Amino acid sequence: MKAVLDACVLFPTVLREILADVAGAGLFQPVWSQRILDEWRIAAGRQGLSAGVEIALLQDRFPKASVSPSGGAEGLDLPDDADRHVIEAALASGAKTIVTANLRDFPRAPLAALGLQAIHPDEFLREFYLNHPDPVADAVRATETRARNAGGAMSRKELMRRARLPRLAKAMERLAGSDVAMQHYGHKSADR
């Protein structure tokens, strides 16, 4: 499955790293255009950061992710016409999904007419977690480790809050709680 990653999910770092690791595990193929990467670079620059190295690393990791949109979304009634290029990246790549935190900029009806859907990264990752918990949990743990090694000692709850992933965090807590309950129940049964 191919999914276009909008600039707003490539920056901030935590969300991008979780998405990249889930893609690296083979659960989806990421797609972006040069314009999406340029928007990420501009957003980072506004905060006094440079995204050049991170962009290069992501492009090296996923060399087939970049597409060159060539139209196909002309005439769509969008709240922000500047987002048309994201839809065109989906059309150019054959992706059916756009992962974005700006859902109101990608109305359901115009996208559906093109065979596309927009989904929030929290729901996107939660769905993968419910069907393939191990690779998603591994991606979250790896991101926690990278954050800790970079001097960002924070709890998983804080990490997930910063990444704007509350539904994924809740699903992970529930499954972890049910695993603990099952282990506890299993031990009680074995003791009988």
148-169 residue pLDDT tens:
888 767 788 888 988 999 999 9
User: Does domain 2-121 match CATH 1.10.2020.10?
Assistant: no
User: Could you write out the three-class secondary structure of 99-150?
Assistant: ECCCHHHCCHHHHHHCCCEEECHHHHHHHHHHHCHHHHHHHHHHHHHHHHHC
Cα–Cα dist 51/45, whole Å = 8
Share of the chain above pLDDT 70, in %: 91
Q: Which sequence spans correspond to the domains of the chain?
A: 2-121, 125-191
Given a contact cutoff of 8 angstroms between Cβ atoms, the answer to whether 91 and 69 are in contact is: yes
Q: Mean of the per-residue pLDDT values for the chain? A: 89
**Whole-prediction pTM:** 0.88
End-to-end CA distance of the chain: 47
**pLDDT tens digits for range 111-152:** 999 999 999 999 999 999 999 999 999 999 999 998 888 876
